[in-house]
Structure 1
Amino acid sequence: MKLLSWNVQWGRDAQGRVDLRRTIDEARRLADFDILCMQEITRGFGVLPGGPGPDQFEEIARALPGFAVFDAVGADLSSLDGSSRRRQFGNAIATRLPVAQVIRHSLPWPADAAAPSMQRVALEAIVATEHGQLRILVTHLEFYSLKQRLAQVDELRRLQQEAAGHAAHPAPAENATGPFAATSRPVSAIVCGDFNSEYGSQAYRAFIAPLAQAPGFVDAWTTLHPGATPPPTAGIYDTAQWSTGPLTCDFVFVTDDLRARLRSCEIEGATQASDHQPIIVELD
């Protein structure tokens, strides 16, 4: 199973040109992925630099025939022109694997008067693989506020403990047709995205700390490159937005029980199709 995670900044490349279809074509050139996890996908947000299209989730579906596309909106704002169309900003998962269940998790947003911020979200899809079900979560944590990032890290860890509880103590479905489906969830998970937390930072260390009564998370890249420091994932080519220089803030984490199944994890450093670099991970 191959997964590609990428903050695509609504299809805006390092030179500021927006073309989401081109970005997806670049992702397909880089990997024959089974799952594509994207951050900064928009709907009704044409006022953003470069003018993204009216519904980028639909654009993804058109660009990836044979894939199911799921969305999770964090910021959901009124229009600027008085119309009924919303301005929405969030994450997407596109997959050609069977999907049993999709869950949208609103992440904590504690008040922080010193920092601009927006509502953040984690999108979870439970996919079927040859080795059984697997939870895939894509997220994008707050950029300006450390207080909010730490709260969001705590919530992602709590969600892992919650899933472990459902795995250990599943409830049966009420019936075959209603919404009260069986509550069993796999404990094994991949959590990926733009954490806006530098490698080795407080939030990074908090996320990979051991968990009680659930397998915790390991960094897929450092697990497969022991003793090495991961290369930067943002600000390599777009020096206007990242005037302080490049940094490593995008990660793919897997639960510890998946460690032995990790086959490869690479940060693609050459593409300029976004201000971030994609990460490609493969599991046996």
Structure 2
Amino acid sequence: MRRFFLTTTLIAAALATVLAVPSPALAEAQGREVRLRVATYNIHAGAGQDGRFDLARQVDAIRALNADVIALQEVDAHWDARSEWRDLATELAGALRMRVYFGPIYDLDPPQEGAPRRQYGNAILSRYPILHAENHSVTRLSTQTPNPVPAPAPGFPEVVVNAKGARVHVYATHLDYRADPAVRQAQVADMLKIMAGKGAQVLLGDFNARSDAPELAPLWRELTDAMAGRPETTYPADVPDRRIDYVAVSRSVRVLAAEVPRTTASDHLPVVADIAVGRGR
């Protein structure tokens, strides 16, 4: 009888130990984690790899990502004829039934009095409520002024979304495209200062550099590259030979899966990642 009691007690203790360590699936079931799908997509001002403006084609491509939060780069808002003077961020959000925050890089006078202002920048679309939004400034080298010098300028939007009780800071970025990495290096430093100490974070964007570029190294000391170690490439869309588009997350965020869907609705390919975030973060 004493041996039976001892054996039963040991089995119960072992079961209690196993159950005390929740699996990821159990954590999700018990409500401690929220899973969401995030994506980044440089939409080339609405034009596909073929150079033809077709916003409906991009709506279909973005819808197919089935993402909860999407960062878009090269977004026109009444910018010029290449995008038919349309407000791409607002139209895409409406077609996809998502909330939107647009962070202009450039905000210029309209071509004629009474017309909307000409804007170009980055946008974030979200299925979840946006609790806070801000368009931060980082170092930029303007393409709109003669003889530019690096200087702070807007176009680094941040939103805080409420994803089923998890507060997630999401950023959209488009780093400098020039061969000289100096401006990108300054932009990385600026972004890290803005992002410091803000809990669960997702950085989405076109970095215009390969993952092993020295100017990106400070990012990888603080963030996790969702596609790290994978051979996928994102540019150009038809025959991609390099990866310059990224999903990066803070250490408190778990990456569950990531992929690069194939589409030529833009000259870039999108990047999609499934992530898990703890509630209350």
Using a 3 Å threshold, how does the CA distance of structure 1 residues 39 and 117 change in structure 2: closer, same or farther?
A: farther
TM-score (norm 2): 0.76
User: What does residue range 1-284 of structure 1 map to in structure 2 within 5 Å?
Assistant: 1-29=36-64, 31-48=65-82, 51-65=83-97, 67-80=98-111, 84-109=115-140, 119=153, 121-130=155-164, 132-144=166-178, 145-161=180-196, 164=197, 186-209=198-221, 216-222=222-228, 228-237=229-238, 246-258=241-253, 261-268=254-261, 270-284=262-276
Residue 94 of structure 2 aligns with an amino acid whose one-letter code is R
Structure 2: distance between partners of 1:36 and 1:255? 17
Rounded to whole Å, the distance in 1 between the matches of 2:208 and 2:52 is 23
Question: 2:38–2:274: 8 Å Cα contact kept in structure 1?
Answer: yes
- Against the structure 1 CA distance between its residues 110 and 237, is the aligned structure 2 distance closer, same or farther, given a 3 Å change threshold? closer
- Determine if contact 2:37/2:273 at 8 Å carries over to the other structure: yes
Inter-partner Cα distance in structure 2 for 1:267 and 1:108: 29
Whether contact under 8 Å (1:45, 1:88) holds in the other structure is: yes
Q: Structure 2 counterpart of 1:150, which letter?
A: Q
In structure 2, the residue matched to 1:178 is none
Distance 1:156 1:55 in 2: 26
Q: Which amino acid aligns with 1:267?
A: V
Distance change (3 Å), C-alpha of 1:98 and 1:236: closer
Q: Distance in 2 between matches of 1:75 and 1:86?
A: 10
Q: Which amino acid aligns with 2:125?
A: A
For residue 208 of structure 1, give the secondary structure of its aligned residue in structure 2: helix
**Structure 1 residue matching 2:139: 3-state secondary structure:** coil
Q: Distance in 1 between matches of 2:142 and 2:171?
A: 25
Q: Per the alignment, in what secondary structure is the counterpart of residue 14 of structure 1?
A: coil
RMSD: 2.6
Determine if contact 1:102/1:125 at 8 Å carries over to the other structure. yes
Deviation digits for residues 119-175 of structure 1, max 9, x if unmatched? 5521111111246211011111111252211111001111122xx1xxxxxxxxxxx
> SS of the residue aligned with 1:152?
helix
Q: Which one-letter code corresponds to 2:223 in the other structure?
A: F
After the TM superposition, list the runs of 4 or more consecutive aligned residues in structure 1 that deviate by more than 6 angstroms: 110-118
* Partner AA of 2:105 in structure 1: G
Q: How many residues align?
A: 237
Partners of 2:231 and 2:246 in 1: CA distance: 10
- Tell me which protein shows more helix as a share of its residues: 2
Alpha-carbon distance, 1:73 to partner: 0.2
C-alpha change, 1:114 and 1:252, in structure 2 (3 Å) is farther
Distance in 1 (CA, whole Å) between partners of 2:201 and 2:209 is 20
Structure 2: distance between partners of 1:148 and 1:52: 31
- Distance in 1, Cα, partners of 2:235 & 2:138: 23
CA distance in 1, matches of 2:231, 2:165: 29
1:110/1:147 contact within 8 Å kept: no
TM superposition shift of 1:229: 4.4
Deviation, 1:44, is 1.7
* Cα offset, 1:82, TM superposition: 6.7
Structure 1 residue ranges without an equivalent (≥5):
165-185, 210-215, 223-227, 239-244
Instruction: Answer 1 or 2: which has greater strand percent.
Output: 2
1:140 & 1:24 partners in 2: Cα distance? 21
